[in-house]
Structure 1
Amino acid sequence: MSIDFGQSTGINFSLSDDQKKVQLAARDFAENVLAPVVRDADREPDPLKAFQMTKPAYVEAYKRGIAFCMLPKEYGGGGLTNVELILAAEEICAVDPGFACTVLVNGLALLPVWYWGTEEQKQRVLRAATSDTSGEYLAGYAASEPPGTPGGTANFDAPMPHPVGIGVTARRDGDQYVLNGRKYWPCNVGGWDGEGANVNLVVVRTDPDSGGTEGLSAILVERGTPGVTYDIIETFGHRLTPNSEIVFEDARVPADNLIQGTLGNGDLLINRNFAWSGPVAGIAAVGVARTAYEAALAWAKTYTAGSPHPMIYFQNVGYVLGDVAARIEACRYFCWKAAHYIDQHEYHGELIGALNKTYCTETLLDSVYKCMQVVGVNSADRKHPFEKLLREAAIFPIYDGGNFGMQRRRIHGVLASPDFNPRALMDDEYVEFTKQMETIDTIQHTEAPQQPLEMA
């Protein structure tokens, strides 16, 4: 086979005019609308009040088409591609990733309605989200549950009977489902007043006799549903997005609110959502690290530390900041690749999304700390941004499906498949994610471990 080297156009990393417009519009919002409220809101001790302080910025984001930019235009959304979403997300996350998480969760809650809902559900739910005249509409996504024995969703796909994994049950009773149980950590679900978002997508066990990945489904729970209460969780990072506990006590939800295409396959919904959110979390880490790097570079170019010249001329400072700059660039393009892959493969990308999330979030957490080392003890002074940036960066590896557990387990499940092609991502081939890939690493040893012999 001969190769015509003269005809290659290469891979284009330049943004199109439309992509540049998305990026600059997001930067304008982040720097001129969001940034002025972030510092005071982050320091508000009450987590609900802190979230409420971002409400004017959120309403402006809604008016500018940011809040539901990920939904298709045919239902009133912004219709952004995933690449465009990533470009916008970096700009917002560079100012505050918590606020960006609020917007992200709107997508986690409502994209499954687009994927698997009936046309009636799409018209009813998606239209309501994109046509709210107040600009305050929030959608929550609830999958995670409290830690415990034997419950907790870190191993939600462990193949053991209920209540292991997802324990919230939804029992059919005529034309309703009756929900019981608790969710812990879901975002947006409490709404602006702690009394409920406009609508919440809740992953439940519609077949309580099943365990592991079987019998899971997704159902919409609307604000004001009797038997549902919320309690805001106080977190050390991402403080401007609201995490909550939800308690369901015989909460009755119309059977028509079940997302029919998810019946029995709520586990695949969770994994598809993680595929979509993987590069968003990755680019969020890029945005935070970018802010830390720019602040540390400005510091190094300003202060001399007793030398005749600014610190940037010290060899170690220059080397460390150069390494950080390289990591930011590498992770940014990995996020672009992941988002492009998801655009090309019908919003599937379970493998590349997990690879992207684990690598970028861990690489850049370390980079934020290296920037603090360049600045030294002054980085601990809260008049500088580093303390907040470190708190934000520390959240990334443990949220959105913790890297130690759910994310790496998904990667492991794909790699262990007999049919896996290790060059698939390089060749832009579709990598299917199946139920058979889910339960790896979750097999429990029911017998007690053997005790070591005592030394004589």
Structure 2
Amino acid sequence: MNQAFDLFRPAEEHDLLRESVRALAEAKIAPFAAEVDEEGRFPREALDALVASDLHAVHVPEEFGGAGADALATVIVIEEVARVCVSSSLIPAVNKLGSLPVVLSGSKELKAKYLAPLAAGEAMFSYCLSEPDAGSDAGGMKTRAVRDGDSWVLNGVKRWITNAGVSEFYTVMAVTDPEKRTRGGISAFVVEKSDEGVSFGAPEKKLGIKGSPTREVYLDNVRIPADRMIGDEGTGFTTAMKTLDHTRITIAAQALGVAQGALDYAKGYIRERKQFGKPVGDFQGIQFMIADMAMKLEAARQLTYAAAAKSERGDADLTFFGAAAKCYASDVAMEVTTDAVQLLGGYGYTRDYPVERMMRDAKITQIYEGTNQVQRIVMARNLP
């Protein structure tokens, strides 16, 4: 039992990393979080701070100029940034999501070409899987890639693309063999923002994470060199699903962070707020609420860290644990942030206090990278 626990207990370097990221987040990111949400603008201050500290894409291997951080370290970075601003946490999270197909399946030349500028902070990476008619059913995509000599020509529309228009690079899944579809008919490509025929829709008007632009990506006869294919032809869908096994854990990390931020704020509030002549935190009903919030959050954290360890090792049961961590942590985040609003009463319902924003931001963690209903299907099919 103790040996199993040690497999995912944070090491001293992880604790030191948490301290440094928290200090950075509180000093350079938190002061702009409310403004970013209110104005619906990209958190440029967060990007600059993360790049300056080499925290924007810590997963990139050292051989390509990255920090080579393990999966747990990546989780901690995302968690601590999300604690103050979920929109900003999508910078390291989506950089991993977008580039992981290259890490997992790309040629060494492709890795060098695209991971090096990502690691240097010269570009961001986004992930293009979903389409207007292909959300949970990702295999139903219609975007096509047709071979033409030494090039591939891409046509289609990708929807719900995080950081679209800001990122320079895009991993795009496209159908290369309509007959085979998910059984060898989908391939992965790197598309650059500057490629002729690439354009973007208007930013979506969202409930939360308003600082992270979500747009459609339009591919109109986009011609790219054949060597921009990620892996072999027909392996794209497999790469996409392997990617999500790893990156669902980063969504769990976001959920942990926003829940922790809400819990921390609520704890301070109930100690200071007085009613009937004493702090509201002295009332048993309030104590039970805060205890449940903390208990569920810690359970989610342990599950997420265990999943991160499995991601690092490439364990056979990663698919189950990645889905479980994402599902449970995001459900907990929604519950904890909702309860935090309740604990602040009328104040919690106003934009003058951060828990209102945290509650709105938490909701997306139950939806993107596979709804929690889909996660339960994945878990049921992959029981350890």
Equivalent in the alignment of 1:370: 339
Cα distance in 1 for partners of 2:260, 2:91 equals: 21
Note the 1:106-185 alignment, pairs <5 A: 106-131=95-120, 135-146=121-132, 151-157=133-139, 165-185=140-160
Distance 2:301 2:340 in 1: 18
| Partner deviation per Cα, 1:36-90 (whole Å, 9 max, x = no partner) | 221111100xx4xx01xx2233122112111120111111111111111122222
Is contact 2:79–2:89 with CA below 8 Å preserved after alignment? no
TM-score (norm 1): 0.80
Q: Deviations over 1:145-188 (max 9, x none)?
A: 11xxxx3231123xxxxxxx111000111111111110000112
- CA deviations over 1:301-320 (Å, ceiling 9, x no partner): 11222x12111111100111
- Judged with a 3 Å threshold, the aligned counterparts in structure 2 of structure 1 residues 336 and 241 are, in CA distance, closer, same or farther, namely same
The one-character-per-residue Cα deviations of 1:342-394 (angstroms, maximum 9, x if unpaired) are: 11117982211001111111122112112222222221121111210110111
Which is worse superposed, 329-338 or 100-109?
A: 100-109
Q: Distance in 1 between matches of 2:294 and 2:341?
A: 14
Bigger share in helix: 2
Report the counterpart of residue 449 of structure 1 in structure 2. Answer: none
Q: 1:127 to 1:274 in 2, by over 3 A?
A: same
Are positions 1:409 and 2:366 aligned together? no
Root-mean-square deviation over aligned CA pairs: 2.0
Instruction: Kindly report which structure 2 residues correspond to 1:362-401, keeping only aligned pairs within 5 A, or say none.
Output: 362-401=331-370
Q: Which residue of 2 aligns with 1:65?
A: 54
The answer for the alignment partner of 2:73 in structure 1 is 84
CA displacement, residues 263-282 of structure 1 (integer Å, 9 cap, x when unaligned): 21222222222111222211
Question: Are residues 1:29 and 2:24 paired?
Answer: yes
Partner residue of 2:38 out of 30, 43, 61: 43
Matched AA of 1:322: A
Residues in 2 aligned to 1:408 and 1:220: alpha-carbon distance in whole angstroms: 31
Rate the CA distance shift 1:208–1:10 in 2: closer, same or farther, 3 A.
Answer: closer
1:248 and 2:219 correspond: yes
Q: Point out which structure has higher relative CO (alpha carbons under 8 A, 6+ apart).
A: 2
1:226 to 179, 182, 196: 196
Partner Cα separation in structure 1 for residue 319 and residue 288 of structure 2: 35
Unaligned runs of 5+ in 1: 158-164, 192-196, 416-421, 423-456
> 1:142·1:189 contact (CA, 8 Å) conserved in 2?
no
* 1:309 is the counterpart of 2:275: no
CA contact (8 A) 1:272 1:348 kept: no
CA distance, structure 2, for counterparts of residue 93 and residue 355 of structure 1: 20
SS of residue in 2 equivalent to 1:218: strand
Partner secondary structure for residue 189 of structure 1: coil
- Between Structure 1 and Structure 2, whose CA radius of gyration is higher? 1
Runs of 4+ residues over 4 Å off in structure 1: none
Residue 319 to residue 106, structure 1, CA distance change in 2 (3 Å):
same
What does residue range 409-448 of structure 1 map to in structure 2 within 5 Å? 409-415=377-383, 422=384
